[in-house]
Amino acid sequence: MEFEHIPHPAPTADDAREQAIANPGFGTVFTDHMAVVDYDAAKGGWYSATLGPRQPIALDPAASVLHYAQEIFEGMKAYRLADGSMGLFRPLENARRYNASARRMAMPELPEELFLESVRQVVDADKDWFPTVEGGSLYIRPFMFASEAFLGVRPATQYKHIVILSPAGNYFKSGSPAVSIWVSEYSRAAPGGTGAAKTGGNYAASLVPTGEAFAKGHDQVLFLDAVEKKWIEELGGMNLFFVMDDGRVITPPLTGTILPGITRDSLITLLREEGLEVSEEMYSLDQWRDDAQSGKLVETMACGTAAVVTPVGTVEGTNGKFNIGNGGPGELTSKIRAKLVGIQRGTVEDTHGWVTKLD
């Protein structure tokens, strides 16, 4: 499908844009354009694709996303490569996961090539928005929602797929501070639920526990399994790895209640390349505390596109508090993070074909 280009009547002035991208933080600065692809079952599926000015979306008040939350999204980044060009990291994996989420939410799949082209269109239109701050990237947010005006309960017949961009600064200010974690009593996802789909509802359900974590002075919330309230699943938006003193690394398995992170998958590969044994197995909160206290567990890392790889420093729950290692980033966390960031930015050889160069 060809994207129709709608000219922007008033793009941001150069000086305002330069100021906006000098130190953008995360998620508050947006670029000038968006890509929109429309779906209507009555028109045979995906029927219109445009690249145009980023602007408010007109929605009927009965649009089913506003009532029954049929919505999915992705999170990815364009990186500046060593040679000055831009690259995407494993974008096909995002396209595939988008469709896995769509299937779970009874939404139409978007052909992978159309997903990738919608991303390329916006990044190309707004490449001057790439942040100038060291370690910056262009955060890419593709999302799809049910736009049909209908209050009955069934999958909608009309959808919009939209891609917007947000220049993002370096998540790590300096020295990669370790994050502190609150173990929530709330559940994020249950067996048979939507935990493996990247859907807004999972985040809506995590806001009260996240607010609780913030109120108690923590950076992130940890969810345990919903059945036994015992096994570690993941953080609100990041997967976890546990590093043992004998070089063994454990990460919770993809049982359907955690999000299959692309960073998680990449780290499993990179850790194995380092000669480490990575097991995808259940690991309990009690075991984590015992291992941290005995010194058997030496590091814990959290990973995801937004924060890349972050060390976990302290853990607190209703049963008390414990620390991991010396509270700072461990040796393996720093090493594997440097390797991943190096591949993403083209300073470390990409032996897996993970980087897709743009232009």
Ligand X SMILES: *Cc1c(COP(=O)(O)O)cnc(C)c1O
Nearer to ligand X, 51 or 107 (CB): 107
Q: Which stretch binds ligand X (CB under 6 A): 14-22, 30-38, 50-58, 237-245?
A: 237-245
Q: Interface with ligand X includes 252 (CB under 6 A)? A: no
Whole-number Å distance between alpha carbons of 73 and 345: 24
Nearer to ligand X, 52 or 195 (CB): 195
Binding ligand X (rule: CB under 6 A), the pick from 45, 75, 111, 253 is: 75
Give least dist CB 137 to ligand X, A: 12
Give least dist CB 314 to ligand X, A: 20
Q: Interface with ligand X includes 343 (CB under 6 A)? A: no
Whole-number Å distance between alpha carbons of 242 and 300: 5
Nearer to ligand X, 149 or 282 (CB): 282
Kindly tell me the sign of the dihedral angle through the C-alpha atoms of 196, 197, 199, 201.
negative
Q: Interface with ligand X includes 256 (CB under 6 A)? A: no
Give least dist CB 226 to ligand X, A: 14
**Number of residues in the chain:** 359
Give least dist CB 262 to ligand X, A: 3
How far from 330 is each of 25, 218, 256, 294, 326, CA to CA, in Å? 25, 20, 30, 17, 8
Q: Which of residues 273-312 bind ligand X (CB under 6 A)?
A: 304-305
Whole-number Å distance between alpha carbons of 140 and 192: 29
Nearer to ligand X, 49 or 78 (CB): 78
> What are the backbone angles phi and psi of residue 338, rounded to the nearest 5°?
-60, -40
Q: Interface with ligand X includes 91 (CB under 6 A)? A: no
> What are the backbone angles phi and psi of residue 302, rounded to the nearest 5°?
-110, 145
Per DSSP, 42 falls in state: G
3-state SS of 131-181 is CCCCCCEEEEEEEEEECCECCCCCCCCEEEEEEEEEEECCCCCCCCCCEEE
**Do the bridges between strand 297-304 and strand 239-244 make them parallel or antiparallel, or are there none, so unpaired?**
antiparallel
Binding ligand X (rule: CB under 6 A), the pick from 262, 302, 308, 340 is: 262
Q: Which stretch binds ligand X (CB under 6 A): 22-30, 79-87, 260-268, 291-299?
A: 260-268
Which residue's entry shows tokens 């996303």?
A: 65
Q: Which stretch binds ligand X (CB under 6 A): 37-45, 104-112, 170-178, 236-244?
A: 236-244
Nearer to ligand X, 32 or 219 (CB): 219
Q: Interface with ligand X includes 194 (CB under 6 A)? A: no
Question: Which residues in this chain contact ligand X in the complex, by CB under 6 A?
Answer: 75, 198, 234, 237-239, 259, 261-264, 304-305
